[in-house]
Amino acid sequence: MSKDIVVKKSKLNKKGVFAIRNFKRGEVVLKWKSKKVLTKEEVDRLPESERHHVSHYTPGEFLLQQKPERFVNHSCDPNTKVGNNCDVAIKDIKKGEEITSDYSVADIQLHFKCDCGSKNCRKYI
Ligand SMILES: [Zn+2]
């Protein structure tokens, strides 16, 4: 496990990823360990619970996220974005803050109710 983040209980979900040091905007918070590339057909065959952990990779290819990156919760006001198989800080993140990402920018059809609590929460993704 990285010394930058820790997985623990979250208010957003059962588990979440939290910063254990300060991050500057633009810094890589979490490098994904995912190496498993799936085709669209393989993604379609995954159970719904697993499909939540699929991320766009290249056109027509998808990554099944591993731990700990799959514990990064969705927020409508996220503090990271996905880039180059990493979660990259889009604002300064303080030690102890939960790491969040906007799932809806991924190229996957995901539909879920959101309860992230941010001011601009879209409620239904
Ligand atoms: Zn929300």
Q: Which two tokens stand for residue 27?
A: 């810094």
* Strand, coil or helix: 50: helix
Question: How many angstroms is it from 12 CA to the middle of ligand 1?
Answer: 10
CA of 43 to the centre of ligand 1 (A): 24
Under the phi-then-psi rule, with left for phi > 0, alpha for psi from -120 to 50, and beta for the rest, what region is 68? Answer: alpha
User: Over 70: is that where the pLDDT of 1 sits?
Assistant: no
Q: Report, as an integer, the average pLDDT of 68-78.
A: 93
Mean of pLDDT values over 14-33: 95
pLDDT tens track for 80-114: 998 888 899 999 999 999 999 988 766 566 678 88
Count the neighbouring beta carbons within 10 Å of the beta carbon of residue 40.
13
Look-up of token digits 């974005």: 81
The full set of domains in the chain, from first to last, is 5-31+68-105 (2.170.270.10)
Q: Give the Å distance between the CA of 70 and the centre of ligand 1.
A: 18
Distance from residue 120's CA to the centre of ligand 1 (Å): 7
Summarize pLDDT for 24-62 with one digit per residue, the tens.
Answer: 999 999 998 877 789 989 998 999 888 878 877 777 888
Mean pLDDT of 70-74: 92
Q: CB within 5 A of ion ligand 1: which residues?
A: 76, 114, 116, 121
| 28: Cβ contacts below 8 Å, ≥ 6 apart | 86, 87, 88, 89
Reported as a pLDDT band with limits 50, 70 and 90, residue 124 is confident
8 CA distance to ligand 1 middle (Å): 20
The CA distances from residue 94 to 81, 101, 104, 108, in Å, are: 16, 16, 24, 30
Q: SS3 for 14-31, per residue?
A: CEEEEECCCECCCCEEEE
- Does residue 63 carry a pLDDT above 90? no
